[in-house]
Amino acid sequence: MRIFLVCFVAFISLINCQIPPFTEECVDNAYPPPESRKVPSYVVNLDLPAAQRWTHVVKNKGPEIKKLLDEFKSFISDIFNGSQAIVNFIDKEGPAFDETLPQPFADEMRGIANATGLKLGEIVFFNIFYEFFTVCTSIVAQDPKGTLYHARNLDFGLFLGWDIKNNTWAVTELLRPLVIIVDFQKGGQTVFKSVNFAGYIGILTAIKPKLFTLTMNERFNKDGGYIGLMEWILGERTGQWMGFLTRQVMESASGFLEAKVMLSNEEMLAPAYFILGGNKTSGLYQQGCVITRAREFVVDVWDMESANGWYILETNYDHWSAPLFLDDRRTPAHHCMGNMTQQGVSIKGLHNVLSSRPVLNKLTTYTALMQVDSGHLEVWLQYCPDPCIPW
Protein backbone atom coordinates (compact mmCIF):
# COMPACT_ATOMS: atom_id res chain seq x y z
CA MET A 1 0.00 0.00 0.00
CA ARG A 2 2.75 2.45 0.91
CA ILE A 3 4.62 1.72 -2.31
CA PHE A 4 1.45 2.60 -4.21
CA LEU A 5 1.07 5.85 -2.27
CA VAL A 6 4.65 6.89 -2.97
CA CYS A 7 4.23 6.23 -6.68
CA PHE A 8 0.89 8.08 -6.64
CA VAL A 9 2.47 11.15 -5.02
CA ALA A 10 5.27 11.08 -7.59
CA PHE A 11 2.77 10.76 -10.44
CA ILE A 12 0.65 13.69 -9.24
CA SER A 13 3.75 15.81 -8.78
CA LEU A 14 4.84 15.10 -12.33
CA ILE A 15 1.40 16.02 -13.68
CA ASN A 16 1.54 19.31 -11.80
CA CYS A 17 5.06 19.94 -13.07
CA GLN A 18 6.30 20.07 -9.50
CA ILE A 19 9.24 17.73 -10.12
CA PRO A 20 11.84 18.90 -10.32
CA PRO A 21 10.96 22.12 -8.37
CA PHE A 22 14.63 23.07 -8.64
CA THR A 23 14.51 26.70 -7.67
CA GLU A 24 18.19 26.87 -6.96
CA GLU A 25 19.20 28.69 -3.83
CA CYS A 26 22.76 29.25 -2.73
CA VAL A 27 22.55 30.14 0.93
CA ASP A 28 25.33 31.97 2.75
CA ASN A 29 24.00 32.02 6.30
CA ALA A 30 23.42 28.33 7.23
CA TYR A 31 26.59 28.05 9.31
CA PRO A 32 26.83 27.48 12.17
CA PRO A 33 23.62 25.50 12.71
CA PRO A 34 21.92 25.45 16.13
CA GLU A 35 23.87 23.52 18.77
CA SER A 36 20.93 21.12 19.05
CA ARG A 37 21.92 19.71 15.67
CA LYS A 38 25.45 18.77 16.73
CA VAL A 39 26.15 15.03 16.66
CA PRO A 40 27.52 13.20 19.75
CA SER A 41 30.93 11.49 19.76
CA TYR A 42 32.06 8.08 21.03
CA VAL A 43 35.40 6.29 21.26
CA VAL A 44 35.65 2.75 19.91
CA ASN A 45 38.71 1.02 21.35
CA LEU A 46 40.16 -1.32 18.72
CA ASP A 47 42.34 -2.92 21.41
CA LEU A 48 39.24 -4.46 23.03
CA PRO A 49 37.87 -7.84 21.95
CA ALA A 50 35.64 -7.25 18.93
CA ALA A 51 32.46 -8.29 20.74
CA GLN A 52 32.98 -5.58 23.39
CA ARG A 53 33.94 -2.58 21.23
CA TRP A 54 30.46 -1.18 20.57
CA THR A 55 28.65 -2.01 23.81
CA HIS A 56 28.80 1.50 25.30
CA VAL A 57 27.76 3.02 21.96
CA VAL A 58 24.62 0.96 21.34
CA LYS A 59 23.42 -0.18 24.76
CA ASN A 60 20.80 2.60 24.92
CA LYS A 61 20.06 2.62 21.19
CA GLY A 62 18.23 -0.70 20.96
CA PRO A 63 14.68 0.74 20.80
CA GLU A 64 15.66 3.29 18.12
CA ILE A 65 17.42 0.64 16.01
CA LYS A 66 14.38 -1.62 16.44
CA LYS A 67 12.02 1.09 15.13
CA LEU A 68 14.21 1.53 12.08
CA LEU A 69 14.42 -2.22 11.46
CA ASP A 70 10.64 -2.53 11.72
CA GLU A 71 10.31 0.15 9.04
CA PHE A 72 12.79 -1.70 6.81
CA LYS A 73 10.85 -4.93 7.26
CA SER A 74 7.54 -3.25 6.56
CA PHE A 75 8.98 -1.85 3.33
CA ILE A 76 10.17 -5.31 2.26
CA SER A 77 6.81 -6.83 3.11
CA ASP A 78 5.08 -4.16 0.99
CA ILE A 79 7.30 -4.98 -1.99
CA PHE A 80 6.28 -8.62 -1.80
CA ASN A 81 2.54 -7.92 -1.42
CA GLY A 82 2.42 -8.32 2.32
CA SER A 83 4.43 -11.53 2.44
CA GLN A 84 6.52 -12.07 5.57
CA ALA A 85 8.68 -14.73 3.91
CA ILE A 86 11.68 -12.46 3.31
CA VAL A 87 11.46 -10.97 6.80
CA ASN A 88 11.25 -14.43 8.35
CA PHE A 89 14.22 -15.49 6.23
CA ILE A 90 16.27 -12.58 7.55
CA ASP A 91 15.43 -13.35 11.17
CA LYS A 92 16.09 -17.06 10.78
CA GLU A 93 19.14 -17.10 8.54
CA GLY A 94 20.87 -13.90 9.69
CA PRO A 95 22.96 -15.63 12.35
CA ALA A 96 24.19 -18.12 9.76
CA PHE A 97 25.15 -15.25 7.44
CA ASP A 98 27.11 -13.66 10.27
CA GLU A 99 29.35 -16.73 10.28
CA THR A 100 30.25 -16.08 6.63
CA LEU A 101 31.52 -12.55 7.34
CA PRO A 102 35.19 -11.75 7.96
CA GLN A 103 36.50 -10.95 11.39
CA PRO A 104 36.40 -8.76 13.36
CA PHE A 105 33.08 -7.69 11.79
CA ALA A 106 31.18 -10.88 12.63
CA ASP A 107 32.11 -10.66 16.32
CA GLU A 108 31.37 -6.93 16.43
CA MET A 109 27.84 -7.59 15.18
CA ARG A 110 27.37 -10.36 17.74
CA GLY A 111 28.41 -7.91 20.43
CA ILE A 112 25.94 -5.30 19.17
CA ALA A 113 23.14 -7.87 19.18
CA ASN A 114 23.95 -8.81 22.79
CA ALA A 115 24.16 -5.18 23.91
CA THR A 116 20.87 -4.13 22.30
CA GLY A 117 18.89 -7.32 22.91
CA LEU A 118 18.07 -7.50 19.20
CA LYS A 119 18.31 -10.62 17.07
CA LEU A 120 21.65 -11.22 15.40
CA GLY A 121 19.88 -11.61 12.06
CA GLU A 122 18.42 -8.14 12.46
CA ILE A 123 21.82 -6.61 13.18
CA VAL A 124 23.30 -8.30 10.10
CA PHE A 125 20.41 -6.97 8.03
CA PHE A 126 20.88 -3.50 9.55
CA ASN A 127 24.49 -3.54 8.34
CA ILE A 128 23.58 -4.74 4.85
CA PHE A 129 20.96 -2.11 4.08
CA TYR A 130 23.35 0.82 3.61
CA GLU A 131 24.95 -0.89 0.61
CA PHE A 132 21.89 -0.10 -1.52
CA PHE A 133 20.03 3.04 -0.42
CA THR A 134 22.71 5.70 0.18
CA VAL A 135 22.11 8.77 -2.01
CA CYS A 136 24.68 11.50 -1.41
CA THR A 137 26.61 14.58 -2.46
CA SER A 138 30.37 14.63 -1.81
CA ILE A 139 32.87 17.45 -2.43
CA VAL A 140 36.65 17.68 -2.10
CA ALA A 141 37.92 21.27 -2.42
CA GLN A 142 41.05 23.30 -1.75
CA ASP A 143 41.26 26.90 -0.61
CA PRO A 144 43.68 29.43 -2.16
CA LYS A 145 46.39 28.44 0.35
CA GLY A 146 46.17 24.76 -0.66
CA THR A 147 44.30 23.48 2.41
CA LEU A 148 42.09 20.51 1.48
CA TYR A 149 38.55 20.09 2.75
CA HIS A 150 36.12 17.22 2.23
CA ALA A 151 32.40 17.58 2.86
CA ARG A 152 29.31 15.51 2.22
CA ASN A 153 25.57 15.22 2.63
CA LEU A 154 24.32 11.74 3.35
CA ASP A 155 20.81 11.26 1.99
CA PHE A 156 18.97 8.07 2.84
CA GLY A 157 15.43 6.70 2.71
CA LEU A 158 13.99 7.30 -0.78
CA PHE A 159 10.78 5.25 -1.20
CA LEU A 160 11.14 3.98 2.38
CA GLY A 161 7.90 4.99 4.08
CA TRP A 162 6.38 8.29 2.97
CA ASP A 163 4.52 10.05 5.80
CA ILE A 164 1.69 11.88 4.04
CA LYS A 165 0.68 13.79 7.16
CA ASN A 166 4.11 15.28 7.86
CA ASN A 167 5.56 15.22 4.32
CA THR A 168 8.64 13.29 5.45
CA TRP A 169 10.36 10.00 4.73
CA ALA A 170 9.95 7.68 7.71
CA VAL A 171 13.36 6.01 7.50
CA THR A 172 15.14 9.36 7.13
CA GLU A 173 13.44 10.62 10.29
CA LEU A 174 14.33 7.43 12.19
CA LEU A 175 17.96 7.59 11.13
CA ARG A 176 18.79 11.05 12.46
CA PRO A 177 18.77 10.05 16.17
CA LEU A 178 21.27 7.29 15.32
CA VAL A 179 23.92 9.56 13.75
CA ILE A 180 27.16 9.56 15.75
CA ILE A 181 30.84 10.43 15.40
CA VAL A 182 33.15 7.51 16.17
CA ASP A 183 36.80 7.97 17.17
CA PHE A 184 38.52 4.65 16.44
CA GLN A 185 41.55 4.36 18.69
CA LYS A 186 44.49 2.03 19.34
CA GLY A 187 46.77 2.51 22.32
CA GLY A 188 44.78 5.58 23.27
CA GLN A 189 45.58 7.28 19.95
CA THR A 190 43.18 8.09 17.13
CA VAL A 191 43.57 5.86 14.07
CA PHE A 192 40.68 7.51 12.21
CA LYS A 193 37.32 9.17 12.84
CA SER A 194 34.06 8.39 11.09
CA VAL A 195 30.37 9.24 10.94
CA ASN A 196 28.16 6.22 11.62
CA PHE A 197 24.61 5.24 12.34
CA ALA A 198 24.72 3.55 15.76
CA GLY A 199 24.78 -0.19 15.14
CA TYR A 200 26.40 0.10 11.72
CA ILE A 201 30.07 -0.95 11.77
CA GLY A 202 31.09 -0.11 8.20
CA ILE A 203 32.38 3.24 6.94
CA LEU A 204 30.54 5.74 4.76
CA THR A 205 32.31 8.96 5.86
CA ALA A 206 35.75 9.13 7.53
CA ILE A 207 38.98 11.04 8.06
CA LYS A 208 42.46 9.73 8.83
CA PRO A 209 44.02 12.86 10.37
CA LYS A 210 46.82 14.44 8.34
CA LEU A 211 46.60 11.65 5.73
CA PHE A 212 43.33 11.30 3.80
CA THR A 213 39.55 11.55 3.81
CA LEU A 214 36.95 9.22 2.31
CA THR A 215 33.25 9.20 1.49
CA MET A 216 31.17 6.63 -0.38
CA ASN A 217 28.23 7.39 -2.67
CA GLU A 218 25.95 4.74 -4.13
CA ARG A 219 26.25 4.09 -7.87
CA PHE A 220 23.03 3.16 -9.65
CA ASN A 221 23.99 0.55 -12.20
CA LYS A 222 22.65 -2.57 -13.90
CA ASP A 223 25.11 -4.74 -11.97
CA GLY A 224 23.76 -3.28 -8.73
CA GLY A 225 24.14 -4.52 -5.21
CA TYR A 226 20.99 -6.61 -5.29
CA ILE A 227 22.74 -9.06 -7.62
CA GLY A 228 25.75 -9.23 -5.30
CA LEU A 229 23.48 -9.72 -2.32
CA MET A 230 21.66 -12.61 -3.97
CA GLU A 231 24.97 -14.22 -4.92
CA TRP A 232 26.18 -13.89 -1.35
CA ILE A 233 22.96 -15.43 0.01
CA LEU A 234 23.33 -18.33 -2.45
CA GLY A 235 26.92 -18.97 -1.38
CA GLU A 236 29.01 -17.14 -4.01
CA ARG A 237 31.06 -14.86 -1.78
CA THR A 238 34.01 -13.54 -3.77
CA GLY A 239 33.13 -9.87 -3.34
CA GLN A 240 33.69 -7.56 -0.38
CA TRP A 241 30.95 -5.70 1.45
CA MET A 242 31.54 -2.05 0.63
CA GLY A 243 31.38 -0.98 4.29
CA PHE A 244 33.93 -3.58 5.33
CA LEU A 245 36.32 -2.57 2.53
CA THR A 246 36.18 1.09 3.50
CA ARG A 247 36.69 0.16 7.16
CA GLN A 248 39.80 -1.84 6.24
CA VAL A 249 41.09 1.08 4.16
CA MET A 250 40.67 3.50 7.05
CA GLU A 251 42.38 1.15 9.51
CA SER A 252 45.32 0.03 7.38
CA ALA A 253 46.07 2.44 4.51
CA SER A 254 49.08 4.63 5.21
CA GLY A 255 48.04 7.44 2.89
CA PHE A 256 46.11 8.63 -0.15
CA LEU A 257 47.91 6.50 -2.73
CA GLU A 258 47.58 3.23 -0.80
CA ALA A 259 43.91 3.97 -0.11
CA LYS A 260 43.38 4.65 -3.82
CA VAL A 261 44.88 1.27 -4.76
CA MET A 262 42.83 -0.63 -2.17
CA LEU A 263 39.57 1.01 -3.24
CA SER A 264 40.35 0.31 -6.91
CA ASN A 265 41.37 -3.34 -6.79
CA GLU A 266 39.00 -5.19 -4.45
CA GLU A 267 36.00 -6.98 -5.95
CA MET A 268 32.80 -5.79 -4.28
CA LEU A 269 29.20 -6.88 -3.88
CA ALA A 270 27.86 -3.53 -5.10
CA PRO A 271 29.07 -0.77 -7.44
CA ALA A 272 30.00 2.51 -5.79
CA TYR A 273 31.68 5.87 -6.03
CA PHE A 274 34.60 6.39 -3.66
CA ILE A 275 35.45 10.05 -3.16
CA LEU A 276 38.98 10.30 -1.82
CA GLY A 277 40.88 13.33 -0.58
CA GLY A 278 44.55 13.44 0.37
CA ASN A 279 46.83 15.98 2.01
CA LYS A 280 48.73 17.41 -0.96
CA THR A 281 47.81 19.99 -3.59
CA SER A 282 51.19 20.38 -5.27
CA GLY A 283 53.54 18.14 -7.20
CA LEU A 284 52.44 15.88 -10.02
CA TYR A 285 48.76 16.10 -9.18
CA GLN A 286 46.32 17.16 -6.53
CA GLN A 287 45.20 14.51 -4.10
CA GLY A 288 41.49 14.46 -4.75
CA CYS A 289 39.63 11.98 -6.92
CA VAL A 290 36.41 10.08 -7.59
CA ILE A 291 36.84 6.34 -8.15
CA THR A 292 33.93 4.97 -10.17
CA ARG A 293 33.55 1.28 -9.43
CA ALA A 294 31.76 -1.62 -11.02
CA ARG A 295 31.57 -4.66 -8.80
CA GLU A 296 34.60 -6.38 -10.34
CA PHE A 297 36.73 -3.53 -11.66
CA VAL A 298 37.44 0.20 -11.84
CA VAL A 299 35.43 2.01 -14.50
CA ASP A 300 37.10 5.41 -14.13
CA VAL A 301 39.38 7.45 -11.88
CA TRP A 302 38.59 11.16 -12.11
CA ASP A 303 41.19 13.49 -10.59
CA MET A 304 40.45 16.94 -9.17
CA GLU A 305 42.90 18.65 -11.52
CA SER A 306 40.98 17.47 -14.59
CA ALA A 307 37.60 17.98 -12.90
CA ASN A 308 37.80 21.64 -12.01
CA GLY A 309 41.22 22.50 -10.67
CA TRP A 310 40.13 23.48 -7.18
CA TYR A 311 37.28 21.08 -6.41
CA ILE A 312 35.69 17.79 -7.46
CA LEU A 313 32.04 16.94 -6.87
CA GLU A 314 30.08 13.69 -7.06
CA THR A 315 26.43 12.82 -6.49
CA ASN A 316 25.13 9.44 -7.69
CA TYR A 317 25.71 9.51 -11.45
CA ASP A 318 28.75 8.92 -13.64
CA HIS A 319 30.44 12.27 -14.15
CA TRP A 320 30.51 11.80 -17.92
CA SER A 321 26.73 11.25 -18.08
CA ALA A 322 23.77 13.49 -17.35
CA PRO A 323 22.05 12.91 -14.00
CA LEU A 324 18.48 11.69 -13.84
CA PHE A 325 16.28 14.73 -14.55
CA LEU A 326 14.22 14.04 -11.42
CA ASP A 327 17.36 14.05 -9.27
CA ASP A 328 19.72 16.71 -10.54
CA ARG A 329 21.56 17.75 -7.39
CA ARG A 330 24.77 18.01 -9.38
CA THR A 331 23.94 21.14 -11.41
CA PRO A 332 22.76 23.22 -8.41
CA ALA A 333 25.79 22.05 -6.38
CA HIS A 334 28.17 23.19 -9.14
CA HIS A 335 26.27 26.47 -9.38
CA CYS A 336 26.68 27.10 -5.66
CA MET A 337 30.37 26.15 -5.71
CA GLY A 338 30.92 28.64 -8.54
CA ASN A 339 28.93 31.25 -6.67
CA MET A 340 31.09 30.68 -3.57
CA THR A 341 34.38 30.73 -5.57
CA GLN A 342 37.65 29.23 -4.37
CA GLN A 343 38.09 32.20 -2.03
CA GLY A 344 35.14 30.92 -0.02
CA VAL A 345 36.35 27.34 0.45
CA SER A 346 36.17 26.60 4.17
CA ILE A 347 34.13 24.64 6.68
CA LYS A 348 31.53 27.42 6.60
CA GLY A 349 31.49 27.76 2.82
CA LEU A 350 31.05 24.06 2.13
CA HIS A 351 28.35 23.75 4.78
CA ASN A 352 26.47 26.56 3.04
CA VAL A 353 26.72 24.81 -0.34
CA LEU A 354 25.44 21.55 1.15
CA SER A 355 22.62 23.43 2.90
CA SER A 356 21.39 24.90 -0.41
CA ARG A 357 18.31 23.31 -1.93
CA PRO A 358 18.00 20.94 -3.75
CA VAL A 359 21.45 19.73 -2.65
CA LEU A 360 19.79 19.75 0.76
CA ASN A 361 16.56 17.77 0.52
CA LYS A 362 14.08 15.77 2.59
CA LEU A 363 16.36 12.71 2.51
CA THR A 364 19.39 14.51 3.98
CA THR A 365 20.24 13.07 7.39
CA TYR A 366 23.53 14.87 8.08
CA THR A 367 26.27 17.10 6.71
CA ALA A 368 29.86 16.13 7.53
CA LEU A 369 32.76 18.60 7.22
CA MET A 370 36.42 17.51 7.27
CA GLN A 371 39.77 19.31 7.13
CA VAL A 372 42.53 16.77 6.61
CA ASP A 373 45.62 18.68 7.82
CA SER A 374 44.14 19.39 11.25
CA GLY A 375 42.13 16.16 11.47
CA HIS A 376 38.98 18.21 12.04
CA LEU A 377 35.59 16.53 11.70
CA GLU A 378 32.27 18.08 12.57
CA VAL A 379 28.81 16.74 11.82
CA TRP A 380 25.39 18.39 11.87
CA LEU A 381 21.94 16.90 11.56
CA GLN A 382 20.08 18.35 8.60
CA TYR A 383 16.41 19.12 8.00
CA CYS A 384 14.69 20.55 4.94
CA PRO A 385 11.30 22.13 5.66
CA ASP A 386 8.75 22.59 2.89
CA PRO A 387 8.93 23.46 0.11
CA CYS A 388 11.60 20.82 -0.41
CA ILE A 389 12.16 17.84 -2.68
CA PRO A 390 11.34 14.95 -2.75
CA TRP A 391 8.35 15.36 -2.98
Active site residues: 136
> How far is residue 372's CA from residue 207's CA, in Å, rounded to a whole number?
7
> How far is residue 372's CA from residue 355's CA, in Å, rounded to a whole number?
21
Q: Name which of 291, 298, 230, 236 is nearest 267 in CA terms.
A: 298
Q: Are 270 and 224 in contact (CB under 8 A)?
A: yes
Helix 62-79 × helix 120-128 angle, to 10°: 70
Q: What is the DSSP letter of 328?
A: -
Q: What is the DSSP letter of 327?
A: G
Strands 376-381 and 168-169, sheet pairing: unpaired
What length is written for the chain? Answer: 391
Instruction: Please classify residue 220 by burial: count the beta carbons closer than 10 Å to its beta carbon, then call 0-12 exposed, 13-18 middle and 19+ buried.
Output: middle
Q: Are 332 and 358 in contact (CB under 8 A)?
A: yes
All residues at 6 or more sequence positions from 15 whose CB lies less than 8 Å from its CB, including other chains: none
Give the three-state DSSP class for 305: helix
